[in-house]
Chains A and B, each alone.
Chain A
Amino acid sequence: MFALDVQHLTKIYRGGFHALKGIDLQVAEGDFFALLGPNGAGKSTFIGIISSLVNKTTGQVSVFGHDLDHDPEGVKSCIGLVPQEFNFNLFLPVIEVVLNQAGYYGLPRHEARIRAERYLRQLDLWDRRDTEMRRLSGGMKRRLMIARALVHEPRLLILDEPTAGVDIEIRRSMWSFLRELNQQGTTIILTTHYLEEAESLCRNIAIIDDGRIAERTSVAALLQRLHTETFVLNLKGRVSELPQLGGFVLQALDDCTLEVEMNREHTINGLFEALSRNGIEVISLRNKQNRLERLFLELVDRQNAEAGV
């Protein structure tokens, strides 16, 4: 059984805008799945339909075997949603937001209190439980949305850009929390603009562009398609003249920084050996661009070219 099974899903908004043009997508139970796409591609509409915030035009949506048309309560019971934008009553204290959400799912009060404490502690918000929402920082609000979405312990957690505007430290801690949650069996679907996030967390990926699925594969398979990679090297000394190295394309960014484009057939060890032979010592290196980001741009560009945009 799939955690999510979507067939021929379309959405035409009033006014005629065609947001989704026949999406077919399956997400396996236990997967950590990334949904990527440029702004306006249809990601939020897709998530809105699955979580019952947007009415679909045609198509079928099934979550853990519950059909959205015939058993919407069953679908909703399985899903926890962390939306892109804050959607709180800003005048309520943190604990009440979580307890109310538990109540909407029919959880008895004593059970709701136990779970609220568990998730608020896990997300470092327990000390803030009596603080009004409007007094929380952006990062705290993001974490609270996760706690709120988990209080009924959903089998499928959907996160729509959960780390937008969150500093690096909190983002890393949220990543490790989500990884742990996934390891415990929760299926996770994530949309993000931080492609490093998708590469780091997710096993499978779909790219939506212009209301269609442009790509559906595993992250590993997608990365296999990269033919070249580009690194930026910080050098120990100055380099006055660039050496010619077979299989590597070198470009000086300044006297002490080199950009190296290398074919996937070559290794970094080989690069270092070739540089050493030419008396160049490397202090550090980094990827010029996130690998997934590059593929993403290539795919979207290819789609646009095919569509004649």
Chain B
Amino acid sequence: MNQRLETWRRYRVTFQTILKKEILRFLRIWVQTILPSVITTSLYFVIFGRLIGERIGMMDGFAYLDFIVPGLVLMGVITNAYSNVVSSFYSSKFSRYIEELLVSPAPNWVILAGYVGGGVARGLVVGGAVMLIAVFFTDIRIHDPLTMLLIGVLTATLFSLGGFINAIYANSFDDISIVPTFVLTPLTYLGGVFYSIELLPEFWQTVSLANPVLYMVNAFRHGLLGVSDIPLSVAFGMILLFILMLTVYSLYLLRRGVGIKT
């Protein structure tokens, strides 16, 4: 029993070490990691919200500026969670200091949890900063804080896992920018950040249902505003399913040593 407790204590220390290292990393370079998202989303609020939004009118019963707040917050969470893990893990591969972890007795699931934890932390820091900015531009009242927080954490977890898998396969710094540019950004923009899918023709509404970001944005919008194009249970189910799939795949890649061992 003592042996088992000692093992779990060791895992906890390892997890805390990786997590702390990851958080210090993005805080140390906050001008590169946090500030750009804050500035970009502030511009979205000014341009799409104040200038163009007032001409668009109401959407789902809310002022357009209020309607896009959940999507903008979640966009910050998604891109930052993803890019934190992909850049950090790939850098550790590129400079070979991933070997510090590989020679240690840290189990793969603890390594994965540490990196994902770092991605979630950055996603939530940026998401929180965007929410604070939103307070200056809107008079939103949070409808369901627990749902909002849960969706924020789960979304950050999912995209951190995505970033981890991207980093494992990446062989150059180009490889870590391809997915965010050509996959992540289109999925986010087409995931209902700026519009309700009810505005789309029926065919495109059906196509949109294949986009996982749609479920997150809508569930988050439910937490913030109380409206959603998708039932909340379906949204949670989809996100959890994707998290499970990516976790299993990440652990499989780590066990095989793909991209990190020869």
Contact = CB atoms under 8 A, between A and B. Distances in A.
Contacts of B28: 91
Given A13-B262, A100-B21, A106-B14, A87 B104 contact: no
A101 B261 CA distance: 19
A99 to B, nearest CB: 8
B95 A87 contact: yes
Contact of A85 (B14, B96, B107): B96
Contacts, number: 79
Nearest to B17: A103
Contact of B105 (A48, A73, A83, A88): A73
B100 interface: yes
Contacts of B17: 99-100, 103-104
B97 interface: yes
B243 to A, nearest CB: 25
Interface in A46-67: 48, 51-55
Interface string A172-193: 0000000000000000000000
Contacts of B107: 73
Nearest to A76: B105
A101 B13 contact: no
B13 A76 contact: no
Nearest to A91: B28
Interface in A101-116: 101, 103-109
Contacts of B20: 103
Interface string A128-152: 0000000000000000000010000
A34 interface: no
Given A73-B105, A106-B9, A106-B13, A100 B262 contact: no
Contacts of B262: 13-14, 48, 53-55
A103 B103 CA distance: 13
* Most chain B C-beta atoms within 10 Å of own C-beta, residue among A52, A54, A85: A52
A228 interface: no
B99 interface: yes
Q: Interface SS of chain B: helix, strand, loop or mixed?
A: helix
Given A52-B103, A87-B95, A89-B92, A103 B16 contact: yes
A55 B260 CA distance: 10
Contact of B106 (A48, A88, A104): A104
Nearest to A104: B104
Interface residues of A, number: 35
Nearest to A80: B103
Nearest to A72: B105
Interface in B9-63: 9-11, 13-14, 16-18, 20-21, 28
A86 to B, nearest CB: 8
Interface string A12-31: 01100000000000000000
Interface string B90-114: 0110011101111111110000000
Contact of B13 (A72, A77, A88, A103): A103
B145 interface: no
A149 to B, nearest CB: 9
* Most chain B C-beta atoms within 10 Å of own C-beta, residue among A52, A85, A104, A109: A104
Nearest to A106: B10
A100 B100 contact: yes
A141 B99 CA distance: 16
A79 interface: yes
B226 interface: no
7 contacts: A53-B99, A53-B103, A76-B103, A86-B96, A100-B17, A106-B13, A109-B13
Q: For the complex of A and B, list the 3 residue pairs with the smallest distance between their C-beta atoms, beginning with the closest.
A: A103-B17, A106-B10, A104-B104
Interface of A: 13-14, 48, 51-55, 72-74, 76-77, 79, 81, 83, 85-91, 96, 99-101, 103-109, 148
Given A13-B262, A73-B107, A148-B100, 11 more contacts: A52-B102, A52-B261, A53-B261, A72-B105, A76-B105, A89-B95, A100-B17, A100-B21, A104-B104, A104-B106, A107-B13
